[in-house]
Amino acid sequence: MYHKDSPSTIQGMFNEIAHRYDLANAILSLSLHQRWNCALVRHIQQKEAPQVLLDLCAGTGDIAFAYLRKASSCCRAYLIDFSSEMLERAKLKESHHRFPYSHDISYLQADVQALPLPNQSIDCATLAYGIRNVQHPALCVAEVFRVLRPGGRLGILELTRPRHPLLRWGHHMYLRTFMPLLGKWLTDNKQAYQYLCQSIQTFIAPEELKYLITASGFLQTEVHSLAGGIATIITAHKPT
């Protein structure tokens, strides 16, 4: 059984579903995730050069590649994930992308709670659909704070629970009934999508995550609700 208090099981789960992960995301979200990804990039995109991006729980690279396609100059990008299979998929996808500049991209298999990067070395950090799977989210946020330069930006995109009662009920039924079945059909791993559904339903609310980020030292922390609260973006800045 998968559980984030046993990180090796989550690592194994993502390795198992990596080969169909992008297809499953597109079908399960009705491709809304692409719009949400672009919204995250808009919120954290930096205009100043040079840019150093850190994409945590990078998966198959969608967020990092969306960022790099819109970059105004050459960037250094670190894609970090603890799933080797996810990173292999990202490397394959990179070869099919046409970027406006020749970016320097590194793929690192690592724990986001102990980043293998020096202090104050990153301009901007993103974390999409991953913090709810991190064993200790506060450690991850503290590590991001450590590696960000003063004035650096953090953007988190996560699947959340809607506030409106009717939408919340429909969302709950979708997660409980349809998503595991679709996940089994798409990846042949029903248990993985049962876990992912449960992780959405049991993770802390956006306001609690905002408080956690602020408690780590970040300023200007803002919450942006998407699709009635089905997804949420939280942005913050490290003090200058």
The pLDDT score that the predictor gives to residue 47 is 62
Place of tokens 């080797």: 84
**% of the chain surpassing 70 pLDDT:** 98
Tokens of 28: 């399960």
Whether residue 47 lies inside any domain: the answer is yes
Band (46; pLDDT cuts 50, 70, 90): low
- Indicate if the pLDDT at residue 49 is higher than 80: no
69-117 tens-digit pLDDT: 988 889 999 999 999 999 999 999 998 888 888 999 999 999 999 999 9
Mind listing the pLDDT tens digit for each residue in 18-41? Answer: 999 998 888 888 899 999 999 999
Supply the pLDDT for residue 95: 86
**Which residues neighbour 37 within 8 Å (Cβ) at sequence distance 6 or greater?**
62, 63, 66, 128, 157
The residues that bridge with 158 in the sheet, in sequence order, are 232
How many beta carbons lie within 10 A of that of residue 176, not counting itself? Answer: 13
Is 37 a domain residue? yes
C-alpha atoms less than 13 angstroms from C-alpha of 17 in its C-beta half-sphere: 28
Look up the domain containing 145 and give its range.
7-237
* 142 in a structural domain: yes
Looking at residue 123, its pLDDT comes to: 95
Count of structural domains, the chain: 1
pTM over 0.85: yes
Using the predicted structure, report yes or no on whether residue 184 has a pLDDT greater than 90.
Answer: no
Of the candidate ranges 145-159, 183-197, 219-233, the one whose mean pLDDT is the lowest: 183-197
Q: How far apart are CA 13 and CA 83, in angstroms?
A: 9
Of 2, 13, 27, 36, the residue nearest 225 (C-alpha): 36
The residue that leads in pLDDT, 27 or 123, is 123
* Distance (Å, whole) CA 62 – CA 94: 10
State the CATH number of the domain containing residue 12: 3.40.50.150
Q: Give the per-residue pLDDT at 100.
A: 85
Domain assignment present for 2:
no
Q: Note whether residue 1 is domain-resident.
A: no
Is residue 231 within 8 Å of residue 36, measured between CB atoms? yes
Query: Whose CA is closest to 63, among 77, 50, 73?
Result: 77
Provide the mean pLDDT of the chain.
93
